[in-house]
């Protein structure tokens, strides 16, 4: 008699989901109410019913290859109508937390940046690193340290070269971890969708020619307008706060790049051309920075109020990771505004410590991109892109990056040319 295939549950996966807030998963009895009521679920690939089943059975490999986990926005609609209070949105949120840890490299940073104490410790470590780098540079250049005399000017306290070196090092680590995680995620969800080379078994990759224009840019536009967020019923007001935070990040990122070029390149090459910082309050870049800072604080405060309200109502469950990201973003915004106000008041004894605190918070937030809930910026965007690309592959409207090297690809047993 032939042996029956047996399901081998991944107990570590089940434990991780339950510890991250998905402990209600075993209440699900597969009535499919969640998939019916979800405003984002599609007929072609309904969720979160199948993810609930996979989580119950401990099928971690199935969940890892499922892009729909990231298409869920945890709006709470499914939780409200679930007859067993299985809280599917919370379960998928817990799965995403574990996915971030799975793709993180090194994983120790993910463990640190997903605990409140770890974040505080990382902020302190970041501040210490800023001070050490600046101190070593001051010994080399023999400039005043730690608090220069006269009017408060931050670039005289912490000159641009050592701080840029520190932040560029962090950028290198974040870029490495982000790219590696996204590529592995793409490989997993491509295999999960059956998109693989029929000869080598490797995950399919898209033809890069039209890929950015046809798939990446439409996904980015959808994210910039938050069209899917606006479809959520129970937490519809979240879209406004989330959109404000997103656009504030974009504004502040652009402003930072402009100031870095001006202060770190042009001011050094042309010392008498007036490129020194700080910029005047009426300078367009300074105005944009202040608008971005206000949007950041206001947006994250909206999200904080929404989470408090919806958590009290039982619509959603706010995990430690949710609050860590909210308060870290809030700390970045408030410390930045405080540093500017105290600088204008010319209170050196307060201005420089607050500025170092701000730099530490910014460094920690940036470092957290591939290691915390902030990673949904990476993986949800990738899921958006993959969704539209895979749909075109099924319809025969998209090709693969390796199509010249192989003669046939298979999608769920069917040849795709």
Domain stop point among 103, 127, 158 = 103
Q: Are residues 214 and 351 in the same domain?
A: yes
CB atoms within 10 A of CB 151: 9
Asked whether 174 and 364 are in contact (CB, 8 A), the reply is no
pLDDT of residue 180: 95
Q: 229 — phi, psi (to 5°)?
A: -60, -35
Q: How far apart are the first and last CA of the chain?
A: 40
- The span from the CA of 50 to the CA of 42, in Å, is 13
Q: Are residues 293 and 377 in the same domain?
A: yes
In a domain, 413, yes or no: no
Give the SS3 label for residue 196: strand
Domain stop point among 53, 83, 103 = 103
Q: Are residues 121 and 38 in the same domain?
A: no
Mean pLDDT over each residue of the chain, to the nearest integer = 84
Task: For residue 29, give every residue at least 6 positions away whose Cβ sits within 8 Å of its Cβ, in sequence order, or none.
Answer: 84
pLDDT of residue 404: 35
Q: Is the backbone peptide bond immediately before 413 cis, with ω within 30 degrees of 0?
A: no
Task: For residue 414, give every residue at least 6 positions away whose Cβ sits within 8 Å of its Cβ, in sequence order, or none.
Answer: none
Q: Are residues 151 and 72 in the same domain?
A: no
In a domain, 60, yes or no: yes
pLDDT of residue 154: 83
Q: Are residues 181 and 250 in the same domain?
A: yes
Domain stop point among 72, 103, 134 = 103
pLDDT of residue 413: 42
* Torsion over CA: 382, 385, 386, 387 (sign): positive
Q: In the structure, what pLDDT confidence band is assigned to residue 213 with cuts at 50, 70 and 90? A: confident
Question: pLDDT tens digits, residue range 305-352?
Answer: 999 998 888 888 888 889 999 999 999 999 999 999 999 999 988 998
What range defines the domain where residue 67 resides?
11-103
pLDDT of residue 155: 78
**Burial class of residue 407, CB neighbours in 10 A (0-12, 13-18, 19+):** exposed
Give the SS3 label for residue 405: coil
In a domain, 4, yes or no: no
pLDDT of residue 4: 52
Q: Are residues 96 and 123 in the same domain?
A: no
- The span from the CA of 395 to the CA of 194, in Å, is 14
Domain total of the chain: 2
Q: Are residues 259 and 197 in the same domain?
A: yes
Q: Are residues 250 and 303 in the same domain?
A: yes
Task: Report, as an integer, the average pLDDT of 33-60.
Answer: 87
pLDDT of residue 122: 92
Q: Per-residue pLDDT for 389 more than 70?
A: yes
Q: Are residues 51 and 129 in the same domain?
A: no
Task: Report, as an integer, the average pLDDT of 376-385.
Answer: 94
CA-derived radius of gyration, the chain: 24
Q: Are residues 155 and 178 in the same domain?
A: yes
Give the SS3 label for residue 414: strand
Q: Per-residue pLDDT for 283 more than 80?
A: yes
Q: In the structure, what pLDDT confidence band is assigned to residue 42 with cuts at 50, 70 and 90? A: confident
Which has the higher per-residue pLDDT, 71 or 398? Answer: 71
Alpha helices, H only, 105-148: 107-112, 116-141
Q: Which of the listed ranges 146-150, 177-181, 239-243 does the model predict with the highest average pLDDT?
A: 177-181
Task: Report, as an integer, the average pLDDT of 195-199.
Answer: 66
In a domain, 412, yes or no: no
pLDDT of residue 407: 33
Q: Are residues 52 and 130 in the same domain?
A: no
**Burial class of residue 359, CB neighbours in 10 A (0-12, 13-18, 19+):** buried
In a domain, 406, yes or no: no
Question: pLDDT tens digits, residue range 103-157?
Answer: 999 999 998 998 899 999 999 999 988 888 877 777 767 766 667 778 888 877 7
Q: Cα torsion for 249, 76, 38, 68, to the nearest 10°?
A: 50
**What percent of the chain shows pLDDT beyond 70?**
89
pLDDT of residue 288: 96
Residue 87 sits in a domain whose CATH number is 1.10.1060.10
pTM value is: 0.87
In a domain, 405, yes or no: no
* Angle formed at CA 305 by CA 303 and CA 306, multiple of 5 degrees: 60
Q: Are residues 138 and 29 in the same domain?
A: no
Question: pLDDT tens digits, residue range 346-369?
Answer: 998 899 889 999 999 999 999 999
Least confident of 12-26, 27-41, 372-386: 12-26
């Amino acid at each position: 008699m032939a042996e029956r295939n047996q399901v081998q549950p991944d107990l570590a996966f089940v434990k991780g989901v339950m510890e991250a807030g998905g402990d209600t998963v075993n209440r699900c009895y597969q009535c499919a109410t969640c998939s019916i009521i979800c405003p984002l679920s599609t007929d072609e690939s309904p969720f979160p019913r199948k993810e609930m089943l996979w989580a119950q059975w401990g099928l971690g490999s199935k969940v890892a290859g499922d892009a729909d986990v990231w298409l869920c926005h945890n709006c709470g609609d499914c939780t409200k109508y679930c007859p067993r209070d299985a809280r599917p949105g919370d379960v998928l949120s817990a799965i995403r937390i574990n996915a971030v840890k799975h793709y993180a490299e090194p994983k120790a940073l993910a463990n640190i940046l997903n605990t409140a104490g770890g974040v505080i410790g990382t902020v302190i470590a970041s501040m210490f690193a800023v001070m050490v780098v600046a101190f070593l540079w001051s010994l080399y250049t023999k400039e005043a340290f730690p608090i220069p005399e006269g009017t408060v000017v931050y670039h005289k306290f912490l000159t641009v070269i050592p701080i840029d070196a520190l932040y560029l090092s962090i950028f290198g680590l974040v870029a490495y971890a982000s790219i590696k995680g996204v590529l592995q995620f793409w490989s997993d969800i491509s295999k999960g969708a059956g998109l693989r080379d029929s000869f080598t078994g490797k995950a399919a990759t898209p033809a890069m020619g039209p890929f950015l224009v046809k798939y990446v840019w439409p996904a980015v536009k959808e994210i910039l307008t938050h069209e899917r967020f606006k479809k959520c019923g129970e937490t519809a007001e979240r879209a406004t706060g989330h959109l404000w935070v997103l656009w504030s990040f974009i504004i502040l990122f652009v402003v930072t790049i402009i100031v870095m070029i001006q202060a770190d390149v042009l001011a050094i090459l042309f010392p008498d051309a007036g490129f020194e910082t700080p910029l005047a309050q009426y300078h367009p870049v300074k105005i944009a920075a202040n608008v971005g800072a206000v949007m950041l604080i206001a947006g994250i405060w909206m999200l904080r109020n929404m989470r408090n309200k919806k958590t009290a109502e039982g619509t959603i469950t706010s995990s430690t990771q949710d609050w860590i990201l909210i308060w870290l973003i809030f700390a970045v915004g408030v410390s930045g505004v405080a540093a500017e106000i105290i600088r204008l008041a010319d209170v050196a004894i307060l201005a420089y410590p607050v500025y170092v605190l701000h730099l530490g918070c910014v460094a920690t937030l940036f470092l957290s991109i591939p290691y915390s809930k902030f990673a949904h910026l990476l993986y949800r965007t990738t899921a958006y892109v993959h969704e539209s690309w895979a749909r075109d592959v099924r319809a025969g409207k998209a090709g693969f990056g390796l199509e010249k090297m192989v003669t046939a690809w298979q999608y769920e047993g069917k040849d795709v040319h």
